[in-house]
Amino acid sequence: MKMREKILLFCLTSTLLALILQTILFQNASSSLIYSQEEEQSSNSLKNMQNEIYTFVKSIESDLIEIYNENDFERSLKNGTPVDQLREEYYRLAYNFAADNFNTSDGVVALYIYNINHEIISTYRRAVTPKHNYPVDIYTDPEQYNSEIVKDYILSNNTMMLISSYYNLHRETNIVRFALKIYDSTNTKSKVGYIVCDIDSKVIKNIMLKYCNKEEMFLWLQPYGDRPVLSVGTMADSNQEYYNNITAQIQRGRLEEGTDIKNKPILFQVDQNKYDLTAYSMMPQSLLKQNQKALTLNLILIAAIMSVIIILLSILITRSLTKPLEKLTKTITEIKAGNTRQRVEIYQEDEIGKLGQEFNEMLDEIERLISYEYETKLLLNKAEYKALQAQINPHFLYNTLDIMSSIASVQNCSAVSELCQSLSNIFRYSLDFKHPYSTVAKEIMHLKNYIYVMNVRMGENVEYLFNISEEILQDSIPRISIQPIIENALKHGLRNIRGEKKIVVEALEIEGKLQIVVIDNGIGMDAEQMNTRLEQNSLDMAENGTSIGLYNINARLKMLYGEEYGLHIESKQEEGTRVYLVIPRLRVDEVGTWQK
């Protein structure tokens, strides 16, 4: 079977088997399955809602606990300061506390601070308008503002924060209330006051609405022994009596015997992890029966429709997948037969099209690498030929220069003797092809021999200064890396200037790298153009261009150490030039391991 037929058969068989199996299983246990799923979904939804509400309530509690930072106020409460004095000293405490510790998103509408005798000390109200009106003291009308529950909480030994509510006639909505006891910091069993925070119910209501995602679903929050805090959703009139009965029993603090909270309509509940705030969900049983019937019909219809759709889609998709692959396979076969100029023609903007594009680019890169390798071999052969030419009996040259030096020394021609000795050292160092790496110390010694010869040649009119760090003297460096830079400075920088001529050579460590700088006070150059050519690292430049020495060194360094190393030039016309040589800091015996 071809790939297209395999994919078609697999998709069709898998889809049909899944639909048939699901239909059979659902028919056998649809009622129980729907109820279990609904129970699990409702429980998970309520748990998630409770977790989100818990996070918000915990943040409110954390903000209220900041009252303990009011040390002077706590001390006054502990010392039993008269309420009139407390009101005079701390009348703005509630306002400042609300402004400092709560965000606008917290929805705080009122804040009250009381002593342990339930006497108001400070009040904050966010707005005082006919619509947005909140009590100055929650005890002005205990029944309307449901404040007796706060008193009972203060008198109790409950250490948790109280969550309650009252119905605001002006706003025509429930206001959620939080109350927190204030204890003596030196005696945690002694209560000295408490703080009450009222928030807009919209903050919690928005959380509840996210989880009230079914038609005819009804959610509410209610602490045990208190009135309902908040409710959202739709409730049928026929369920109103059942709802009132359940909430009344919860408010009385006990459920009557024989009351089953899972009786029709279906009721789910989830307690809060820490706070006394239980979430309830109520759903009519008729909704489950409707879902069961609708799902049964839908499954049968889906099974028929999906069978047709899968067949059509499988044909189209497999064709779009296999046709480009067939083209790719055909192209590979032609390339294998010798037609290396052949390329894949796939114009799809998907993974297969990307594969064809990458395949073409790979072929182009292979051809480029083959061409580059051929050119490199030609250059290598040419370099090897030149190296063979340079090695024609070098020992004869060394010995001849040594003999000339000895004869000149005997004849008291010290200048000729020293010149011959320097030339001998230069040739001996330069023609040592067996050891491509040297040390900074040996490279500087070779450079000084070269400088001596050039000073004799140019009449000793160039001043040389060396600033070499001792710690890098034994670091490795490719042979003949500094001398061509000096030669370039003498040839192009200092030749045509009059007056003082100076070259400075510096070698030091910079951020773990070896940096060698050659500075001259010559005529300068176009540094930007030169750096561009050095970055291009063209083999033609290294072979035939001007400043061959610089291009050659740069090419060698990049080939040995990588593209991030090499030469860099800074220069100003008529002021001078700086040539930076940067390579890794390595001992001679470490170079091979580092390159691997």
Structure tokens at 504: 């400075």
Task: Name the DSSP class of 349.
Answer: S
Name the amino acid, one letter, at 463: E
Tell me the domain boundaries of the chain.
3-49+286-328, 70-204, 463-595
In 171-255, alpha helices (H) = 202-211, 240-252
- Pairing state of beta strands 120-125 and 566-572? unpaired
- DSSP lists the bridge partners of residue 267 as 282
What CA–CA distance (Å, rounded) separates 462 from 495?
10
> Are 431 and 391 in contact, with CB atoms under 8 Å apart?
yes
- Is 273 strand, coil or helix? coil
Q: How many residues does the chain have?
A: 596
Query: Measuring CA to CA, which residue among 203, 188, 1, 213 is closest to residue 108?
Result: 203
Q: Give pLDDT, residue 398.
A: 55
Q: Give pLDDT, residue 392.
A: 43
- DSSP lists the bridge partners of residue 329 as none
What CATH superfamily classification does 70-204 receive? PAS domain (3.30.450.20)
* pLDDT tens readout for residues 444-460: 998 898 888 887 776 66
The 3-state secondary structure of 87-104, one letter per residue: HHHCCCHHHHHHHHHCCH
- DSSP lists the bridge partners of residue 590 as none
CATH number of 463-595: 3.30.565.10
Name the amino acid, one letter, at 443: E
Q: How many CB atoms lie within 10 A of CB 369?
A: 11
* pLDDT tens readout for residues 173-206: 999 999 999 998 888 788 999 999 999 999 999 9
- Is 328 strand, coil or helix? helix
* pLDDT tens readout for residues 151-172: 999 999 888 999 999 999 988 8
Name the amino acid, one letter, at 230: L
Task: Write out the chain's pLDDT in tens, 596 residues.
Answer: 666 677 777 777 887 787 777 766 766 666 666 667 777 778 888 899 999 999 999 999 999 999 989 889 989 998 889 999 999 999 999 999 999 999 988 999 999 999 999 999 999 998 888 888 899 999 999 999 999 999 999 999 888 999 999 999 988 899 999 999 999 888 878 899 999 999 999 999 999 988 887 777 889 999 988 999 999 988 878 788 888 888 888 888 876 654 444 446 677 888 887 888 899 888 776 666 666 666 677 777 777 787 777 777 777 776 666 677 777 777 778 777 777 777 777 666 776 677 777 777 787 888 788 777 777 776 766 655 555 444 444 544 555 566 666 666 666 676 777 777 777 777 777 666 667 888 999 999 988 988 888 877 766 678 899 999 999 999 999 988 898 898 888 888 888 788 888 999 999 999 889 999 999 999 999 989 999 988 887 766 555 545 557 888 888 888 888 889 999 999 998 889 999 999 999 887 787 777 67
Cis peptide before 135 (omega within 30 of 0): no
What CA–CA distance (Å, rounded) separates 208 from 215?
14
Q: Give pLDDT, residue 287.
A: 60
Place of tokens 């076969």: 333
Pairs from 567-574 (Cβ < 8 Å, separation ≥ 24): 567/485, 567/534, 568/531, 568/534, 569/525, 569/527, 569/530, 569/531, 569/534, 570/527, 571/524, 571/525, 571/526, 571/527, 571/530, 572/524, 573/523, 573/524, 573/525, 574/523, 574/524
Query: What order of strands is seen across the sheet that includes strand 278-283?
Result: 230-233, 218-222, 278-283, 266-270
What CA–CA distance (Å, rounded) separates 255 from 249?
5
DSSP 523-545: ----HHHHHHHHHHT-HHHHHHS
> Are 416 and 408 in contact, with CB atoms under 8 Å apart?
yes
202 contacts: CB under 8 Å, gap ≥ 6: 107
Work out the burial of residue 539: count CB atoms within 10 Å of its CB; fewer than 13 is exposed, 13-18 middle, 19 or more buried. middle
Structure tokens at 481: 């890396």
Query: What order of strands is seen across the sheet that includes strand 108-115?
Result: 120-125, 108-115, 187-200, 173-184, 162-168
- DSSP lists the bridge partners of residue 111 as 124, 197
Q: Residue 28: phi, psi to the nearest 5?
A: -75, -30
Task: Name the DSSP class of 271.
Answer: -
pTM for this predicted structure? 0.46
Q: Give pLDDT, residue 260.
A: 47
Q: Give pLDDT, residue 492.
A: 86
- Pairing state of beta strands 437-439 and 476-478? antiparallel
Work out the burial of residue 537: count CB atoms within 10 Å of its CB; fewer than 13 is exposed, 13-18 middle, 19 or more buried. middle
In the chain, how many H helices and how many E strands? 17, 16
Q: Give pLDDT, residue 380.
A: 62
